[in-house]
């Protein structure tokens, strides 16, 4: 049980039950993958004296996970307890936040449709030219102000009934620059596509409006698209696209010599550019519906309840079997979540593997 580079395929890992958690579509949830990426980001934070607390928080994030599990077969597994750090760059927390956003946004779209059944969802993507790291914070401030200007324009206000926007920033390793952009879900009336109603905004007009709002004539494209009604799960896929959260870890966390690594300089740029900044926003009817549905700010969420499946009377919602609790603990040697036998007097294991305070590493 001591091999450092142990994986789920290693013989020693078979002696213990590893975490298997699947979505309703049968896809395995990436707990291990995101934990490994988060640990790489934690190590990158450790290079900076003033950011050591983030290194420690992210390293400890999701150390223990407690689930409700169906006793019969693997019908149902739901997270019921965990401790998440909620740091902006923690990959596990980004994933959980995106799930919360998707759940809330799907509820908002359904509530909107009850009021306006014929309204149509559109996906709008707004971007600006790539910027170097030292200009990233200023670029994000400009985008935020430009979005406010855009929503106040008469064309936008007349055509859009509800909107949701999410900021995403990707990193380009080859050019060593950053690509900030907005994913926006807008709800427009059916009459939007009728020529005689003067509501329709062409792709060319969207580009013109965004250029005027940002003051950047160098912007060359704006993407606006409609999801076909005939597509199965079309609205869910649209929401999954627009519900992305802040950054794309795969753009700056890479494999190097058999281990995931994140560039410390990139992490520092992301950290200071994103701090104290609202990454998602709601407007129009969505703002009113959020209050009616009593939706919580994603930054204040415990990131645990992200599923629509709720068991009744501690029974599996599929086969009605009794649910039991299972707990999994992150094990450094195996680099995986391993089921832990619980102590009745202490249901949470002692965190023996928590990080210690460290001196900042040298660049």
Residue identified by tokens 């406010």 is 148
Q: What SS3 state is found at 120?
A: strand
Inter-CA distances, 340 with 19, 21, 63, Å: 10, 16, 12
The encoded tokens of residue 158 equal: 């007349």
Alpha helices in 223-284 (DSSP H): 234-242, 264-274
Terminal CA-CA length for the chain = 33
DSSP, collapsed to helix, strand or coil, labels residue 53 as: helix
The answer to the question of residue 206 being in a domain is yes
Whether 151 and 286 map to the same domain: the answer is yes
Q: Are 15 and 145 in a shared domain?
A: no
pLDDT in the model for residue 313: 59
- Residue 257 maps to a domain: no
* Residue 296 forms part of a structural domain: yes
Nearest to 219 by CA among 235, 231, 203, 199: 203
**Which of 357, 169, 173, 180 shows the shortest CA–CA distance to 265?**
173
Whether residue 241 is found in the same domain as residue 344: no
Q: Does some domain include residue 120?
A: yes
**Domain co-membership, 142 together with 271:** yes
What pLDDT sits at residue 15?
64
User: Do 275 and 313 reside in the same domain of the chain?
Assistant: no
For 98, the enclosing helix (H) or strand (E) is helix 91-115
Same domain, 10 and 56: yes
The count of structural domains within the chain is: 2
With respect to residue 89, please indicate whether it lies within any of the assigned structural domains: no
pLDDT per residue as tens digits for the range 344-357: 445 555 444 344 34
Q: What is the pLDDT along the chain (363 residues), one digit of tens a residue?
A: 344 444 445 544 456 789 988 887 778 999 999 999 999 999 999 999 999 999 999 999 999 999 988 776 666 788 999 999 999 999 999 999 999 999 999 999 999 999 999 999 999 999 999 999 999 999 999 999 999 999 999 999 999 999 999 999 999 999 999 999 999 999 999 999 987 788 999 999 999 999 999 999 999 999 999 876 645 556 776 776 677 667 788 889 998 888 899 999 999 999 999 999 999 999 999 999 999 999 999 988 899 988 755 555 566 655 656 778 889 999 988 899 999 876 544 555 544 434 434 444 444
pLDDT of residue 342: 62
- Encode pLDDT of 264-299 as tens digits: 999 999 999 999 999 999 999 999 999 999 999 998
The torsion angles phi and psi of 109, rounded to 5 degrees, stand at -65, -40
153: DSSP letter: S
C-beta separation of 125 from 222 below 8 A: yes
Q: What residues make up the domain containing 158?
A: 100-249+266-301
Whether residue 143 is found in the same domain as residue 284: yes
Q: Is 274 a domain residue?
A: yes
DSSP state of 76: -
Q: What is the pTM of this model?
A: 0.85
Q: Considering the domain boundaries, does residue 261 fall inside one?
A: no
Q: What is the mean pLDDT of the chain?
A: 85
Please indicate, yes or no, whether residues 362 and 271 belong to a single structural domain of this protein.
no
Residues 161 and 136 in one domain: yes
Which among 236, 231, 234 is positioned nearest to 308, based on CA atoms? 236
HEC string for 268-337: HHHHHHHCCCCCEEEEEHHHHHHHHHCCCCHHHCCCCCCCCCCCECCECCCCCCEEEEEEEEEECCCCEE
């Amino acid at each position: 049980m001591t091999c450092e580079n142990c994986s789920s395929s290693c013989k020693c890992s078979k002696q213990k039950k590893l975490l298997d958690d699947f979505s309703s579509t049968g896809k395995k949830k990436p707990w291990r993958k995101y934990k490994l990426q988060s640990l790489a980001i934690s190590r990158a934070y450790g290079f900076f004296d003033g950011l050591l607390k983030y290194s420690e928080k992210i390293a400890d994030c999701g150390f223990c996970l407690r689930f409700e599990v169906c006793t019969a077969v693997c019908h149902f597994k739901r997270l019921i307890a965990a401790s998440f750090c909620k740091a902006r760059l923690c990959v596990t927390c980004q994933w959980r936040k995106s799930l919360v956003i998707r759940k809330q946004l799907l509820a908002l779209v359904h509530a909107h449709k009850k009021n306006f059944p014929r309204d149509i969802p559109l996906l709008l993507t707004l971007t600006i030219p790539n910027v170097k790291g030292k200009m990233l914070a200023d670029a994000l401030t400009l985008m935020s102000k430009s979005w406010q200007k855009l929503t106040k324009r008469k064309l936008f206000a007349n055509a859009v009934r509800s909107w949701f926007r999410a900021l995403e920033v990707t990193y380009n390793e080859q050019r060593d620059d950053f690509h900030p952009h907005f994913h926006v879900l807008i709800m427009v009336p059916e009459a939007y596509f009728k020529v005689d109603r003067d509501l329709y905004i062409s792709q060319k007009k969207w580009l013109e409006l965004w250029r005027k709002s940002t003051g950047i004539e160098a912007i060359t494209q704006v993407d606006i698209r409609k999801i076909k009604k005939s597509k199965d799960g079309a609205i869910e896929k649209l929401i999954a696209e627009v519900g992305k959260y802040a950054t794309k870890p795969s753009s700056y966390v890479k494999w190097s010599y058999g281990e995931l690594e994140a560039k410390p300089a990139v992490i520092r740029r992301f950290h200071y550019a994103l701090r104290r900044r609202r990454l998602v926003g709601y407007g129009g009817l969505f703002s009113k519906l959020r209050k009616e549905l009593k939706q919580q700010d994603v930054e204040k969420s415990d990131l645990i309840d992200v599923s629509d499946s709720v068991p009744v009377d501690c029974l599996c919602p599929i086969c009605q079997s009794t649910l039991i609790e299972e707990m999994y603990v992150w094990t450094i040697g195996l680099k995986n979540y391993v089921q832990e036998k619980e102590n009745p007097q202490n249901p949470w294991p002692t965190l023996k593997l928590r990080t210690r305070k460290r001196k900042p590493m040298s660049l």
